[in-house]
Amino acid sequence: MILYRGELYENSRQEELIARLKDDLWTPFSEGKALDRDKLIEACDTLATRVLGGEYDDIVKPLLEMLSISEEEFQSMAGLFRKEGLKYKCEIELCDEERIIDGKIRRKRMPLGVLMHIAAGNVDALPAYSVIEGLLAGNVNILKLPMGDSGISVKLLSELVAIEPSLKDFIYVFDVPSTETETLKSLADLSDGVVVWGGDMAVRAARDLTEVNTKVISWGHKLSFAYAEEDCTDQELYDLAKSICLTNQLLCSSCQGIFLNTDSREKQSAFARRFFEIFKKASSDSHPADYGMRARNAINLYNEKLERHVTGNDILNEDGVSVIVTDDPELKLSYLYRNVWVRRLPIEKVISLKKHKNHLQTAAVLTSDPEKRKKIEEALTAAGLTRITTAGHMSRPVSGESHDGTYALREYSRIVEIEIS
Protein backbone atom coordinates (compact mmCIF):
# COMPACT_ATOMS: atom_id res chain seq x y z
CA MET A 1 0.00 0.00 0.00
CA ILE A 2 0.95 3.63 -0.60
CA LEU A 3 0.26 6.57 1.72
CA TYR A 4 -0.01 9.88 -0.10
CA ARG A 5 -1.27 13.07 1.58
CA GLY A 6 -3.23 11.07 4.15
CA GLU A 7 -4.90 8.71 1.66
CA LEU A 8 -4.13 5.01 1.09
CA TYR A 9 -3.68 3.79 -2.50
CA GLU A 10 -2.92 0.48 -4.20
CA ASN A 11 0.61 -0.04 -5.50
CA SER A 12 -0.71 0.15 -9.06
CA ARG A 13 -1.10 3.94 -8.56
CA GLN A 14 2.54 4.39 -7.53
CA GLU A 15 3.96 5.68 -10.84
CA GLU A 16 1.13 8.20 -11.19
CA LEU A 17 1.53 9.48 -7.62
CA ILE A 18 5.31 9.81 -7.83
CA ALA A 19 4.83 11.90 -10.99
CA ARG A 20 2.66 14.28 -8.93
CA LEU A 21 5.05 14.35 -6.00
CA LYS A 22 7.16 17.35 -7.00
CA ASP A 23 4.09 19.60 -7.12
CA ASP A 24 2.81 18.43 -3.73
CA LEU A 25 6.01 17.76 -1.79
CA TRP A 26 7.05 21.34 -1.16
CA THR A 27 3.54 22.57 -0.27
CA PRO A 28 4.34 23.13 3.42
CA PHE A 29 7.35 25.27 2.51
CA SER A 30 5.62 27.30 -0.23
CA GLU A 31 2.61 27.94 2.01
CA GLY A 32 4.69 28.67 5.08
CA LYS A 33 3.29 25.74 7.07
CA ALA A 34 5.34 24.59 10.05
CA LEU A 35 4.75 21.24 11.66
CA ASP A 36 3.30 21.56 15.18
CA ARG A 37 5.54 19.29 17.24
CA ASP A 38 3.25 19.27 20.27
CA LYS A 39 0.35 18.00 18.15
CA LEU A 40 2.63 15.37 16.63
CA ILE A 41 3.72 14.12 20.04
CA GLU A 42 0.12 13.99 21.28
CA ALA A 43 -0.85 11.98 18.19
CA CYS A 44 2.05 9.55 18.71
CA ASP A 45 1.06 9.07 22.34
CA THR A 46 -2.56 8.42 21.38
CA LEU A 47 -1.44 5.87 18.80
CA ALA A 48 0.87 4.12 21.28
CA THR A 49 -1.95 3.95 23.82
CA ARG A 50 -4.21 2.31 21.25
CA VAL A 51 -1.53 -0.19 20.19
CA LEU A 52 -0.75 -1.17 23.77
CA GLY A 53 -4.49 -1.35 24.48
CA GLY A 54 -4.91 -4.08 21.88
CA GLU A 55 -6.73 -2.07 19.22
CA TYR A 56 -4.42 -3.38 16.48
CA ASP A 57 -3.88 -6.90 17.82
CA ASP A 58 -5.15 -8.40 14.54
CA ILE A 59 -1.97 -7.06 12.92
CA VAL A 60 0.41 -6.91 15.85
CA LYS A 61 -0.05 -10.33 17.46
CA PRO A 62 0.62 -12.45 14.32
CA LEU A 63 3.64 -10.25 13.60
CA LEU A 64 5.08 -10.73 17.08
CA GLU A 65 4.61 -14.48 16.75
CA MET A 66 6.17 -14.62 13.29
CA LEU A 67 9.23 -12.63 14.36
CA SER A 68 9.53 -14.29 17.78
CA ILE A 69 9.22 -10.88 19.49
CA SER A 70 8.50 -11.14 23.19
CA GLU A 71 5.85 -9.10 24.98
CA GLU A 72 8.64 -7.36 26.90
CA GLU A 73 10.40 -6.29 23.71
CA PHE A 74 7.09 -5.19 22.19
CA GLN A 75 6.35 -3.01 25.21
CA SER A 76 9.79 -1.39 24.90
CA MET A 77 9.30 -0.70 21.19
CA ALA A 78 5.84 0.81 21.71
CA GLY A 79 7.24 2.95 24.52
CA LEU A 80 9.37 4.84 22.01
CA PHE A 81 6.17 6.47 20.74
CA ARG A 82 4.97 7.70 24.16
CA LYS A 83 4.70 11.39 25.02
CA GLU A 84 7.20 11.43 27.87
CA GLY A 85 9.93 9.76 25.82
CA LEU A 86 9.43 11.91 22.73
CA LYS A 87 9.41 15.15 24.73
CA TYR A 88 12.58 14.13 26.52
CA LYS A 89 14.18 13.16 23.20
CA CYS A 90 13.47 16.62 21.79
CA GLU A 91 14.81 18.34 24.91
CA ILE A 92 18.07 16.40 24.64
CA GLU A 93 18.59 16.54 20.89
CA LEU A 94 17.18 19.90 19.80
CA CYS A 95 17.67 23.50 20.76
CA ASP A 96 14.92 25.51 19.11
CA GLU A 97 15.37 28.71 21.06
CA GLU A 98 16.53 31.53 18.81
CA ARG A 99 19.79 33.11 19.96
CA ILE A 100 21.43 36.41 19.26
CA ILE A 101 25.14 35.98 18.55
CA ASP A 102 27.47 38.89 19.28
CA GLY A 103 24.49 41.22 19.15
CA LYS A 104 24.51 41.02 15.35
CA ILE A 105 23.41 37.54 14.27
CA ARG A 106 20.08 35.80 14.84
CA ARG A 107 20.62 32.05 14.96
CA LYS A 108 17.85 29.43 14.77
CA ARG A 109 17.38 25.73 14.04
CA MET A 110 15.41 24.72 10.95
CA PRO A 111 14.43 21.35 9.48
CA LEU A 112 16.74 20.01 6.79
CA GLY A 113 13.73 20.05 4.43
CA VAL A 114 12.70 16.80 2.74
CA LEU A 115 14.01 13.51 4.08
CA MET A 116 13.89 10.23 2.18
CA HIS A 117 14.03 7.21 4.50
CA ILE A 118 15.39 3.92 3.13
CA ALA A 119 14.44 1.59 5.94
CA ALA A 120 15.76 -1.82 6.94
CA GLY A 121 13.41 -4.70 7.65
CA ASN A 122 15.05 -6.22 10.75
CA VAL A 123 12.79 -4.28 13.15
CA ASP A 124 9.25 -4.01 11.86
CA ALA A 125 8.27 -0.71 13.51
CA LEU A 126 11.59 0.94 12.63
CA PRO A 127 10.45 2.49 9.30
CA ALA A 128 7.58 4.29 11.05
CA TYR A 129 9.84 5.40 13.90
CA SER A 130 12.41 6.75 11.43
CA VAL A 131 9.68 8.90 9.86
CA ILE A 132 8.57 10.13 13.29
CA GLU A 133 12.14 11.22 14.03
CA GLY A 134 12.09 13.16 10.77
CA LEU A 135 8.79 14.74 11.77
CA LEU A 136 10.09 15.73 15.20
CA ALA A 137 12.75 17.81 13.47
CA GLY A 138 10.05 19.40 11.26
CA ASN A 139 10.79 17.68 7.95
CA VAL A 140 8.63 16.43 5.10
CA ASN A 141 9.27 12.68 4.88
CA ILE A 142 9.33 10.14 2.05
CA LEU A 143 9.50 6.52 3.23
CA LYS A 144 10.68 3.70 0.97
CA LEU A 145 9.33 0.53 2.53
CA PRO A 146 11.76 -2.37 3.05
CA MET A 147 11.34 -5.54 1.02
CA GLY A 148 8.82 -7.88 2.61
CA ASP A 149 7.29 -5.17 4.79
CA SER A 150 4.37 -6.56 6.79
CA GLY A 151 2.20 -3.47 6.29
CA ILE A 152 2.50 -2.28 9.87
CA SER A 153 4.49 0.85 8.91
CA VAL A 154 1.82 2.08 6.50
CA LYS A 155 -0.87 1.22 9.05
CA LEU A 156 0.82 3.10 11.88
CA LEU A 157 1.54 6.19 9.78
CA SER A 158 -1.93 6.30 8.22
CA GLU A 159 -3.47 6.02 11.70
CA LEU A 160 -1.17 8.83 12.87
CA VAL A 161 -2.49 11.08 10.09
CA ALA A 162 -6.07 10.10 10.95
CA ILE A 163 -5.44 11.20 14.55
CA GLU A 164 -3.73 14.44 13.50
CA PRO A 165 -4.74 15.42 9.92
CA SER A 166 -2.26 18.32 9.77
CA LEU A 167 0.48 15.71 9.30
CA LYS A 168 -0.80 14.65 5.86
CA ASP A 169 1.46 17.08 4.01
CA PHE A 170 4.53 15.77 5.82
CA ILE A 171 4.32 11.99 5.19
CA TYR A 172 4.60 10.02 1.94
CA VAL A 173 5.07 6.24 1.83
CA PHE A 174 5.98 4.28 -1.31
CA ASP A 175 6.62 0.60 -1.94
CA VAL A 176 9.41 0.95 -4.51
CA PRO A 177 11.59 -2.16 -5.04
CA SER A 178 15.32 -1.61 -4.56
CA THR A 179 15.84 -2.74 -8.15
CA GLU A 180 13.99 0.31 -9.50
CA THR A 181 17.02 2.55 -9.18
CA GLU A 182 15.79 5.29 -11.53
CA THR A 183 12.63 5.78 -9.48
CA LEU A 184 14.62 5.81 -6.25
CA LYS A 185 17.07 8.29 -7.77
CA SER A 186 14.19 10.60 -8.71
CA LEU A 187 12.95 10.50 -5.10
CA ALA A 188 16.45 11.16 -3.80
CA ASP A 189 16.79 14.13 -6.16
CA LEU A 190 13.69 15.68 -4.55
CA SER A 191 15.17 15.24 -1.07
CA ASP A 192 17.53 17.36 0.99
CA GLY A 193 18.74 14.29 2.85
CA VAL A 194 18.60 10.51 2.46
CA VAL A 195 18.40 8.46 5.66
CA VAL A 196 19.55 4.89 5.11
CA TRP A 197 19.30 1.99 7.54
CA GLY A 198 21.26 -1.14 6.68
CA GLY A 199 24.64 -2.68 6.06
CA ASP A 200 27.60 -1.44 4.05
CA MET A 201 26.00 -2.45 0.73
CA ALA A 202 22.81 -0.55 1.53
CA VAL A 203 24.78 2.57 2.50
CA ARG A 204 26.90 2.34 -0.65
CA ALA A 205 23.77 1.93 -2.79
CA ALA A 206 22.20 5.00 -1.18
CA ARG A 207 25.29 7.07 -1.92
CA ASP A 208 25.16 5.90 -5.53
CA LEU A 209 21.57 7.17 -5.74
CA THR A 210 22.34 10.65 -4.50
CA GLU A 211 23.99 13.67 -6.05
CA VAL A 212 26.80 15.43 -4.18
CA ASN A 213 24.39 18.15 -3.03
CA THR A 214 22.18 15.67 -1.11
CA LYS A 215 23.13 14.78 2.45
CA VAL A 216 23.36 11.05 3.24
CA ILE A 217 22.69 10.10 6.87
CA SER A 218 23.58 6.45 7.40
CA TRP A 219 22.60 4.25 10.30
CA GLY A 220 24.56 1.22 9.14
CA HIS A 221 24.58 -2.25 10.61
CA LYS A 222 26.84 -2.48 13.65
CA LEU A 223 28.54 -5.23 15.62
CA SER A 224 28.09 -5.49 19.37
CA PHE A 225 29.54 -7.85 21.96
CA ALA A 226 30.17 -8.47 25.64
CA TYR A 227 33.53 -8.05 27.35
CA ALA A 228 33.95 -10.23 30.43
CA GLU A 229 36.25 -10.86 33.34
CA GLU A 230 36.35 -14.31 34.92
CA ASP A 231 35.00 -12.76 38.13
CA CYS A 232 31.64 -11.89 36.55
CA THR A 233 28.65 -13.35 38.34
CA ASP A 234 26.28 -16.07 37.14
CA GLN A 235 23.50 -13.48 37.30
CA GLU A 236 25.36 -11.25 34.87
CA LEU A 237 25.82 -14.18 32.50
CA TYR A 238 22.14 -15.10 32.78
CA ASP A 239 21.09 -11.50 32.09
CA LEU A 240 23.32 -11.43 29.02
CA ALA A 241 21.97 -14.76 27.79
CA LYS A 242 18.40 -13.57 28.34
CA SER A 243 19.11 -10.45 26.29
CA ILE A 244 20.49 -12.62 23.49
CA CYS A 245 17.34 -14.77 23.54
CA LEU A 246 15.10 -11.71 23.63
CA THR A 247 16.49 -10.20 20.42
CA ASN A 248 17.77 -13.39 18.75
CA GLN A 249 20.82 -11.22 17.95
CA LEU A 250 19.05 -9.41 15.11
CA LEU A 251 19.63 -5.84 16.31
CA CYS A 252 22.75 -3.73 15.90
CA SER A 253 22.94 -3.66 19.69
CA SER A 254 22.58 -7.43 20.08
CA CYS A 255 25.44 -9.45 21.52
CA GLN A 256 27.22 -11.52 18.88
CA GLY A 257 29.76 -13.03 21.26
CA ILE A 258 31.94 -12.59 24.30
CA PHE A 259 35.54 -11.40 24.53
CA LEU A 260 37.25 -12.70 27.66
CA ASN A 261 40.09 -10.79 29.28
CA THR A 262 42.63 -13.61 29.15
CA ASP A 263 45.49 -15.12 27.14
CA SER A 264 44.70 -18.65 28.36
CA ARG A 265 42.84 -21.12 26.15
CA GLU A 266 42.15 -23.23 29.24
CA LYS A 267 40.43 -20.33 31.03
CA GLN A 268 38.58 -19.45 27.84
CA SER A 269 37.22 -23.00 27.51
CA ALA A 270 36.18 -23.15 31.16
CA PHE A 271 34.38 -19.80 30.84
CA ALA A 272 32.61 -20.96 27.66
CA ARG A 273 31.34 -24.13 29.36
CA ARG A 274 30.11 -22.07 32.30
CA PHE A 275 28.25 -19.67 30.03
CA PHE A 276 26.85 -22.51 27.91
CA GLU A 277 25.04 -24.06 30.87
CA ILE A 278 23.56 -20.69 31.83
CA PHE A 279 22.68 -19.99 28.19
CA LYS A 280 20.62 -23.19 27.95
CA LYS A 281 18.68 -22.20 31.06
CA ALA A 282 17.97 -18.69 29.74
CA SER A 283 16.82 -20.11 26.41
CA SER A 284 14.42 -22.55 28.08
CA ASP A 285 13.00 -19.60 30.04
CA SER A 286 12.43 -17.60 26.84
CA HIS A 287 10.09 -17.60 23.87
CA PRO A 288 11.30 -20.28 21.40
CA ALA A 289 13.50 -19.17 18.53
CA ASP A 290 12.23 -19.53 14.97
CA TYR A 291 12.29 -23.21 13.97
CA GLY A 292 13.50 -22.48 10.44
CA MET A 293 16.45 -20.49 11.73
CA ARG A 294 17.31 -23.25 14.19
CA ALA A 295 17.33 -25.74 11.32
CA ARG A 296 19.61 -23.50 9.28
CA ASN A 297 21.99 -23.15 12.19
CA ALA A 298 22.04 -26.91 12.69
CA ILE A 299 23.64 -27.14 9.25
CA ASN A 300 26.13 -24.36 10.05
CA LEU A 301 27.13 -26.05 13.30
CA TYR A 302 27.46 -29.42 11.58
CA ASN A 303 29.91 -27.83 9.14
CA GLU A 304 31.76 -26.24 12.06
CA LYS A 305 32.23 -29.67 13.60
CA LEU A 306 33.46 -31.13 10.31
CA GLU A 307 36.09 -28.38 10.08
CA ARG A 308 37.32 -28.63 13.67
CA HIS A 309 40.53 -30.35 12.58
CA VAL A 310 41.35 -27.21 10.55
CA THR A 311 39.98 -24.42 12.73
CA GLY A 312 40.71 -25.88 16.16
CA ASN A 313 37.34 -24.55 17.32
CA ASP A 314 35.33 -26.24 20.08
CA ILE A 315 31.57 -26.31 19.52
CA LEU A 316 29.15 -26.58 22.43
CA ASN A 317 25.70 -27.25 21.03
CA GLU A 318 22.53 -28.41 22.77
CA ASP A 319 18.86 -27.45 23.23
CA GLY A 320 18.86 -24.88 20.43
CA VAL A 321 21.84 -22.83 21.65
CA SER A 322 25.51 -23.00 20.81
CA VAL A 323 28.83 -21.53 21.92
CA ILE A 324 31.87 -21.66 19.63
CA VAL A 325 35.27 -21.43 21.34
CA THR A 326 37.87 -20.14 18.91
CA ASP A 327 41.48 -18.98 18.80
CA ASP A 328 40.53 -16.47 16.10
CA PRO A 329 40.60 -13.05 17.87
CA GLU A 330 38.53 -11.18 15.26
CA LEU A 331 35.20 -9.47 15.89
CA LYS A 332 32.66 -11.21 13.66
CA LEU A 333 28.94 -11.68 13.17
CA SER A 334 27.60 -14.81 14.84
CA TYR A 335 25.24 -17.33 13.26
CA LEU A 336 22.47 -15.45 15.12
CA TYR A 337 19.43 -17.01 16.79
CA ARG A 338 21.15 -17.99 20.05
CA ASN A 339 24.57 -18.84 18.72
CA VAL A 340 27.54 -16.98 20.20
CA TRP A 341 31.31 -17.17 20.09
CA VAL A 342 33.84 -16.80 22.91
CA ARG A 343 37.21 -15.26 22.06
CA ARG A 344 40.29 -14.22 24.02
CA LEU A 345 41.11 -10.51 24.06
CA PRO A 346 43.39 -9.24 26.85
CA ILE A 347 42.54 -5.68 27.86
CA GLU A 348 45.83 -4.31 26.51
CA LYS A 349 44.77 -5.52 23.04
CA VAL A 350 41.26 -4.02 23.08
CA ILE A 351 42.56 -1.09 21.03
CA SER A 352 42.91 -3.53 18.12
CA LEU A 353 39.13 -3.27 17.71
CA LYS A 354 39.69 0.21 16.30
CA LYS A 355 40.21 -1.31 12.85
CA HIS A 356 36.47 -2.01 12.85
CA LYS A 357 35.78 1.74 12.72
CA ASN A 358 32.16 2.71 12.14
CA HIS A 359 31.03 -0.88 12.73
CA LEU A 360 31.32 -0.79 16.52
CA GLN A 361 28.33 0.04 18.66
CA THR A 362 27.45 -1.58 22.00
CA ALA A 363 29.53 -3.49 24.51
CA ALA A 364 28.24 -4.99 27.75
CA VAL A 365 30.86 -5.08 30.50
CA LEU A 366 30.69 -8.11 32.81
CA THR A 367 32.74 -7.91 36.00
CA SER A 368 32.06 -7.76 39.74
CA ASP A 369 35.02 -5.39 40.29
CA PRO A 370 34.18 -1.64 39.90
CA GLU A 371 37.83 -0.72 39.26
CA LYS A 372 38.13 -3.31 36.49
CA ARG A 373 34.87 -2.06 35.00
CA LYS A 374 36.19 1.49 34.83
CA LYS A 375 39.40 0.38 33.06
CA ILE A 376 37.43 -1.75 30.59
CA GLU A 377 35.05 1.12 29.83
CA GLU A 378 37.99 3.42 29.12
CA ALA A 379 39.61 0.85 26.82
CA LEU A 380 36.39 0.17 24.90
CA THR A 381 35.49 3.83 24.36
CA ALA A 382 39.06 4.54 23.20
CA ALA A 383 38.66 1.74 20.65
CA GLY A 384 35.50 3.31 19.23
CA LEU A 385 32.50 1.82 21.04
CA THR A 386 29.60 4.26 21.37
CA ARG A 387 27.44 2.48 23.99
CA ILE A 388 28.61 0.69 27.16
CA THR A 389 25.94 -1.16 29.14
CA THR A 390 25.43 -3.74 31.83
CA ALA A 391 24.84 -7.38 30.88
CA GLY A 392 21.09 -7.35 30.39
CA HIS A 393 20.57 -3.93 28.83
CA MET A 394 22.45 -4.07 25.54
CA SER A 395 19.29 -3.64 23.47
CA ARG A 396 17.09 -1.72 25.88
CA PRO A 397 15.73 1.40 24.13
CA VAL A 398 16.21 4.60 26.12
CA SER A 399 14.58 7.88 25.11
CA GLY A 400 17.15 10.55 24.39
CA GLU A 401 20.03 8.15 23.70
CA SER A 402 22.13 8.64 20.60
CA HIS A 403 22.09 6.71 17.34
CA ASP A 404 25.59 5.28 16.96
CA GLY A 405 27.23 8.17 18.79
CA THR A 406 25.27 11.06 17.32
CA TYR A 407 21.79 12.58 17.66
CA ALA A 408 19.36 11.84 14.83
CA LEU A 409 17.29 15.01 15.25
CA ARG A 410 20.41 17.15 14.93
CA GLU A 411 21.40 15.28 11.75
CA TYR A 412 17.93 16.05 10.39
CA SER A 413 18.28 19.79 11.08
CA ARG A 414 20.27 22.77 9.86
CA ILE A 415 21.37 25.97 11.59
CA VAL A 416 20.38 29.25 9.96
CA GLU A 417 22.12 32.52 10.85
CA ILE A 418 20.59 35.85 9.85
CA GLU A 419 22.40 39.14 10.24
CA ILE A 420 20.34 41.75 12.07
CA SER A 421 20.03 44.87 9.91
In a domain? residue 322: yes
C-alpha 339/C-alpha 300 separation (Å) is 10
The pLDDT, as a whole number, for residue 67 is 62
C-alpha 34/C-alpha 68 separation (Å) is 40
Q: Are 88 and 203 members of one domain? A: yes
**pTM across the whole model:** 0.89
Q: Are 184 and 230 members of one domain? A: no
The pLDDT, as a whole number, for residue 206 is 92
Q: Are 234 and 178 members of one domain? A: no
Q: Are 72 and 145 members of one domain? A: yes
Q: How far is CA 22 from CA 2, 17, 26, 74, 189, in A?
A: 16, 10, 7, 37, 10
In a domain? residue 86: yes
Q: Are 250 and 200 members of one domain? A: no
Number of domains in the chain: 2
In a domain? residue 211: yes
Q: Are 356 and 211 members of one domain? A: no
In a domain? residue 136: yes
Whether 195 and 219 have beta carbons less than 8 Å apart is answered as: yes
Q: How far apart are the first and last CA of the chain?
A: 50
How many other β-carbons are positioned within 10 Å of the β-carbon of residue 69?
21
In a domain? residue 394: no
Q: Are 214 and 322 members of one domain? A: no
- Residue 217's Cβ-side half-sphere holds a number of Cα atoms within 13 Å equal to 25
The domain of 310 spans: 223-389
Strand-pairing partners, residue 153, are none
Q: Are 248 and 186 members of one domain? A: no
In a domain? residue 316: yes
In a domain? residue 398: no
Question: Cα 236 to chain center, whole Å?
Answer: 24
Whether 176 and 202 have beta carbons less than 8 Å apart is answered as: no
Q: Are 57 and 201 members of one domain? A: yes
Q: Are 44 and 60 members of one domain? A: yes
Whether 110 and 138 have beta carbons less than 8 Å apart is answered as: yes
C-alpha 91/C-alpha 60 separation (Å) is 30
Show pLDDT as tens, one digit a residue, over the chain (421 residues).
899 999 999 999 999 999 999 989 998 989 988 999 999 999 999 999 998 888 888 777 777 776 666 677 777 777 778 999 899 999 999 877 788 888 889 999 999 999 999 988 656 678 898 999 999 999 999 999 988 676 788 989 999 999 999 999 999 999 999 899 999 999 999 999 999 998 888 899 999 999 999 999 999 889 999 999 999 999 999 999 999 998 899 889 999 999 999 999 999 999 999 999 999 999 999 888 777 777 888 888 888 888 888 888 999 999 889 999 999 999 999 999 999 999 999 999 999 999 998 899 999 999 999 999 999 999 999 999 999 999 999 988 777 788 888 999 999 999 999 999 8
Q: Are 11 and 130 members of one domain? A: yes
CATH, residue 270? 3.40.309.10
Q: Are 196 and 253 members of one domain? A: no
